[in-house]
Amino acid sequence: MTGFDYKANKGKFILISGPCVIESEEMCISIARKIKEIATGLKIPFIFKASYDKSNRTAVENYRGPGIKEGLRILQKVKEKVGVPILTDVHCCSEVDAVAEVADIIQIPAYLCQQTTLTLKVANTGRVVNIKKAQFLSPWDMKKIITKIESTGNKKIIITERGSIFGYSTLITDMRAFTIMKSYGYPVIFDVTHAVRVPGFTSKDKRGGTPEMIMPMALSGIAAGSSGLFIETHPNCRNALCDASSMLPLNELKELLNRAKKIYNIVKDR
């Protein structure tokens, strides 16, 4: 198993990146290799992310992914062939044990982060736990969720900010959240590509995201104290099967990370 050394990487700029959802084995391996090449060149620890099932799609006809069995097979192939740690999300307790066999980091989705049974089940695997802060929670609400995880003895925790509800079908990122949540003692990652989503539109509707805001928001988040970035990326965003209107084109990733890393190095000792 490739593994992710939580202790060694705590305090470093961390990149969690990959396509929103698994489309094919070939595509996942290709994207993972390209991101790894970029991250290695910039000396940024990289975790590959892709979902085997996007359970919270807006419409029933939207593509959800290949499912847990095929999805985990593909993620295992990415781990073996590219040599990178894996992050994926779970939606119910029955998925957790199988996911823990493959994933180095298990993500609790934003809409499910208050589900105590699921949170404890994930924490008890001993894997690193990435908690997505729900759009409807304040930064200080996350302390209670962290306490649930800590109660199992698992203190390998990452918190991910992805914006907050601000009126109908809009999200806004409160930059104070990074300082507030970092005070709990764990890395706080900025999921900038979900922060530019506009809920309520289909994933391919141009109104469903503002990707032109990814760069300025990412740099702002790092300047505000984020420990790294969560970036969903794709070689051809227009034809992506999920979140096409809010992902970062893969060919723009290197420039963004290069600029973000420079800012991180300035503010990290603040």
Among the residue ranges 11-15, 139-143, 145-149, 198-202, the one predicted with the least confidence is: 198-202
CB 86 within 8 A of CB 103: yes
Q: What secondary structure does DSSP assign to the chain, as a single string?
A: -----HHHHTTS-EEEEE-SB---HHHHHHHHHHHHHHHHHHT--EEEE-BS--TT-SSTTS---S-HHHHHHHHHHHHHHH---EEEE--SHHHHHHHHTT-SEEEE-GGGTT-HHHHHHHHTT-SEEEEEPPTTS-GGGHHHHHHHHHTTT---EEEEE--EE-STT-EE--THHHHHHHTTTS-EEEEHHHHTB-TTS-TT-GGGB-GGGHHHHHHHHHHTT-SEEEEEEETTGGG-SS-TTTPEEGGGHHHHHHHHHHHHHHHTT-
pLDDT > 90 in the chain, percent: 81
pLDDT > 70 in the chain, percent: 96
CB 148 within 8 A of CB 168: no
Q: 170 or 33: whose pLDDT is higher?
A: 33
145-164 mean pLDDT: 97
Domain parsing of the chain, residue ranges: 6-267
Is the pLDDT score of 54 beyond 90? no
pLDDT at 1: 46
pLDDT at 203: 66
Q: What is the pLDDT of residues 82-93, one digit of tens each?
A: 999 999 999 999
3 confidence band (pLDDT: 50, 70, 90): confident
Q: What angle do CA 54, 199, 14 make, to 5 degrees?
A: 60
13-41 mean pLDDT: 97
Q: What is the pLDDT of residues 119-135, one digit of tens each?
A: 999 999 999 999 999 99
143 confidence band (pLDDT: 50, 70, 90): very high
Q: Tell me yes or no: is domain 6-267 CATH 3.40.47.10.
A: no
